[in-house]
Amino acid sequence: MKDTSELETILARIDALESDRAIRACINRYMDLCDHLNPATPLDELGDLFTEDAKWEGKGARYAKSFGGYQGRDAIVSMLAKYTVEPAHFSLNVHYLSSEVIRVDGDQASGSWNMIQVSSFSAGGSHLNSARLSVSFRRDDGVWRMAHFETENLFSRPVSDWNDDATLPVPK
């Protein structure tokens, strides 16, 4: 009996580690796709990162008003597709995730991150945003997908342009 119990414990620990890695890969792929929203964005791949019944919502006064909420994979993809017009909404968009915490419990998991987003817009202007992400994940047909994505603004402000043609200062 002891050997079976130890083996089950080891297998559960391996599954949790592999799940943690897969969840991290899922959120990072989402951010990478969001960094490159344009007419060539693979919306089917973006949608596949979410469960069919997923929920995506902006939380707090600023993000609830700006983004609202969306129920279901198709609604989430339709919302994100609005950013893939020509010219692309973003001329520069980069998300940085930090302070990661992932908790796996069988086929359910939750994760939280602090996020910094630097953006410049094709229409002009640049912005700095910080948000707290709270994301629930579910293993769906053996694949970890987002089931509930919440983003809550911590701060936002316009900034001068992020990208400049000025020469980089490097030692000679």
The mean pLDDT value for 76-105 works out to 95
What confidence tens digit (pLDDT) does each residue in 3-23 have?
789 999 999 999 999 999 999
Residue 79 covered by a domain: yes
Q: Are strands 143-159 and 126-140 parallel, antiparallel or unpaired?
A: antiparallel
CATH code of the domain covering residue 154: 3.10.450.50
Residue 168 has a pLDDT of 78
Mean pLDDT in residue range 70-98: 95
Q: How many domains does the chain have?
A: 1
Express each pLDDT in 113-164 by its tens digit: 999 999 999 999 999 999 999 999 999 999 999 999 999 999 999 998 777 7
Give the residue from 148, 145, 113, 150 showing the smallest Cα distance to 29.
145
pLDDT given at position 108: 97
Locus of tokens 């002891």: 2
Q: What is the pLDDT of residue 165?
A: 77
pTM: 0.91
In a domain, 167, yes or no: no
C-alpha span between 97 and 100 (Å, rounded): 7
Please report whether residue 169 resides in a domain: no
Residue 133 lies in a domain: yes
DSSP 39: T
166 falls within a domain: no
Confidence at 2, pLDDT banded by 50, 70, 90: low
Residue 152 counted as domain residue = yes
Rounded Cα distance between 22 and 121, Å, is 32
Choose the weakest-confidence range: 1-10, 70-79, 86-95, 138-147. Answer: 1-10
User: What pLDDT is stored for residue 171 in this prediction?
Assistant: 87
Within a domain: residue 172? no
Query: What's the average model confidence in pLDDT over 165-172?
Result: 82
The yes-or-no verdict on residue 57 having pLDDT over 90 is yes
The Cα angle at residue 53 between residues 21 and 74, in degrees rounded to 5 = 100
Give 167's pLDDT tier (boundaries 50, 70, 90).
Answer: confident
**Which structural domain, as residue segments, surrounds residue 72?**
1-159
Which positions ≥6 away from 115 have C-beta within 8 Å? 95, 96, 97, 98, 129, 130, 131, 132, 133, 151
**Within a domain: residue 165?**
no
Model pLDDT, residue 162: 72
CA proximity to 67, closest of 103, 40, 34, 18 = 34
Contacts of residue 122, Cβ cutoff 8 Å, sequence gap at least 6? 87, 88, 89, 90, 91
Among residues 164, 145, 167, 171, the alpha carbon closest in space to that of 50 is found at 145
